Structure 1
Amino acid sequence: MTSRILRPVRADRRAQPRSAAPLGARLPLVAAVVVAAGLTTACGPSSQPVGSAAQSTAGQTSSALPSATASASASTSAEASPSASASPSASTSAAPSSSPTPSRAKTGSAAPKPSRTSAAPAPARIPGPGYDSSADAQKQIDAALAAAKADGRMVLLDFGANWCGNCKAADKVFAQPQTAAILGASYHLVKIDIGGNSSANSALLRKYSPSGGSYKMPVLIVVTPSGTVRTDTHATGNPSLTSEGINSFLRQWAS
C-alpha cells in the first residue's frame, strides 16, 4: 500500500523540469542580470577599439586643463594686482601722447617753420673814451654802415680830440649805464680823431658836415644805414653835455 502511494509522487516530481528553481534561489540570478544590464546601458556598446575611448577622454581632459588653468591664473593675477585689471584703452588715454599728428608725420610733408622771435638783437659795441689817431676812420665808418644795414640801427659819428674838454665830458656821459643802453640799442658809434694832423679824418668831417667854418667839438653826426645825414650838431648846435641832454638827443634821432 505504501509503495503504491510513493510511485505517483515520484512520477510527479519527474514530470517537473529540472531547470526550474525555487523563487529564493532565482532572486540572486535576477539581481545579477539587472546589474549587468545596467552596466551595459550606462557604458553602451563601443564601436572603437580598446584603448581609443580612454585616449579620447584623456585628450579632452588634457585640452580642457590649459584653458581652466589660464582662467584660474588670470583671475588670480587680476585679484592680486589691481592695475592689471585696467583696460589698455584707459591706460593709453591717461598718458599724454607725444607723437606727432598723422598729418605732420606723412612722408614728404613740409616741415613746420620755426617761429620768429621778437627778442631784440644784442647791443652794439661801444668804444671806450678818447680817440684813436692811428685808426682807419673810413674803414670803421664802412663797417658801421654795413652793420646798420643788417640790423637797422643808426650810425653816430663823433668827431673830436683827446685834448678837448667838451669831448671828455661827452665820453663820461656815454659811459653811464642809461646812455650806454640807448647807444647800444640804437646806434653804431664811431669815434674819429680830428685833433691831430690827419688830413683823411679832416676830409671825412667835411664830407659829412660840409657847411665848413670853425667846428666846435665834439661834432655829433647821425647817419642812416644808406649813408644819409639826419642831423649835424655843427649846424644845429650841440645838446647839453649832460645825461639828460645827450639822452634826449639820442632818443630823438634813433628812428
Structure 2
Amino acid sequence: MRRLIPVSLLMFMAFSPANAVPAPKIAISNFDQLAHPLPMPYNERAHAEKAVAEARAKAKKANKLLLIDLGGNWCPDCRILGGMFDQPDLKRFMDKHYEIVTVDVGRFDKNLSIPAHYGLNDRLKGAPTLLIVDPKTDKLLNPGHVTALADARSMTPQAIADWLAQWVH
C-alpha cells in the first residue's frame, strides 16, 4: 500500500539545508490547544526601524539569527504564529537560536521600509512574512520563502517548528 506524504513535509524536505539543527518535538497537535485568546503580537505604535536595529544588535552579540516577523493583529495566521512562539517547547528553541522582532505592517501599508531593505520592494504577498536574517552580514537567508507560514493555520504545530528549524545551523 502506498502512503501519501503531506505537502508541508515535502516542502520542508525540498528546502531544508542538510546541516540544519533538529526541530524541537512539539507537544500540541493542533492550534486549539494553544492558549486563548491568541496573542496580538504587533505593537502598532512601535518605531519599527529602531526595534529591528536593536534586535539585530542583540542577535549579532548573542550569535543568533534575526527573525523579523512582519504582520498585523488582524491576521489569524500571525496570531497563531504568535501563540506558537509562546508554546514552551518552541519558545525554548526560539530563545536559543533566534532574536525575534515583530513589525506591524498594518494592511500592508506601514513600515514597508523594513522588507524593502531586504529586497522585498513589491507589495507583501501575505502575512505573516518572515525574514530570517544573518545579523552579521544583514543578509536575508530565506529569499523566496518569506511567506511560507502565511497559511500557518493549514499546517500542523510540528510543521511550523520544522520550518523554523531548517534555517538554524
TM-score class, shorter-chain normalisation, is: 0.5 to 0.7
Q: Please list the CA deviations of residues 22-70 of structure 1 after superposition, one character each: whole Å capped at 9, or x if unmatched.
A: xxxxxxxxxxxxxxxxxxxxxxxxxxxxxxxxxxxxxxxxxxxxxxxxx
Within the alignment, does 1:222 sit opposite 2:132 as a pair?
yes
SS at match of 2:99: strand
Structure 2 counterpart of 1:207: 117
Count of residue correspondences: 127
Following TM superposition, by how much is the alpha carbon of 1:246 offset from its aligned partner in structure 2, in angstroms? 1.7
1:140 maps to 51
Which amino acid letter does the alignment assign opposite residue 194 of structure 1?
V
Deviation of the 1:232 alpha carbon: 4.1
Task: Find out whether 1:184 has 2:98 as its counterpart.
Answer: no
Aligned residue number for residue 160 of structure 2: 246
Q: Hey, what's the Cα distance between the residues in 1 that align with 2:71 and 2:101?
A: 11
Q: Residue 151 of structure 1: CA displacement?
A: 1.6
TM-score, normalised with respect to structure 2: 0.66
Distance 1:188 1:208 in 2: 17
Q: For 1:76-225, list aligned pairs within 5 A.
A: 129-195=40-106, 199=110, 201-210=111-120, 212-225=122-135
Higher helix share: 1
TM-score of the superposition, structure 1-length normalised? 0.45
Structure 1: 5+ residue runs without aligned partners? 1-127
Q: What's the CA shift for 1:208? A: 2.2
Q: Please give the alpha-carbon distance, in whole angstroms, between the structure 1 residues aligned to 2:59 and 2:85.
A: 20
User: CA separation of 1:146/1:214 partners in 2, compared to 1, >3 Å: closer, same or farther?
Assistant: closer
Give the Cα–Cα distance (whole angstroms) in 2 for the partners of residues 193 and 225 of structure 1. 20
Superimposed CA distance per residue, residues 104-147 of structure 1 (whole angstroms, 9 cap, x where no aligned partner): xxxxxxxxxxxxxxxxxxxxxxxx64200111111111111111
In the alignment, structure 2 segments of 5+ residues that lack a partner are: 1-38
Greater relative contact order (Cα 8 A, min sep 6): structure 1 or 2?
Answer: 2
Give percent identity, aligned residues only: 28
Q: Distance in 2 between matches of 1:205 and 1:184?
A: 23
When Rg is computed on C-alpha atoms for both structures, the one with the higher figure is: 1
**Alignment RMSD:** 2.3
Q: Which runs of structure 1 show a deviation greater than 6 angstroms over 4 or more consecutive aligned residues?
A: none
SS in 1 for 2:41: coil
Aligned partner of 2:120: which letter? P
Q: Distance in 2 between matches of 1:148 and 1:197?
A: 26
Instruction: Please list the CA deviations of residues 81-111 of structure 1 after superposition, one character each: whole Å capped at 9, or x if unmatched.
Output: xxxxxxxxxxxxxxxxxxxxxxxxxxxxxxx
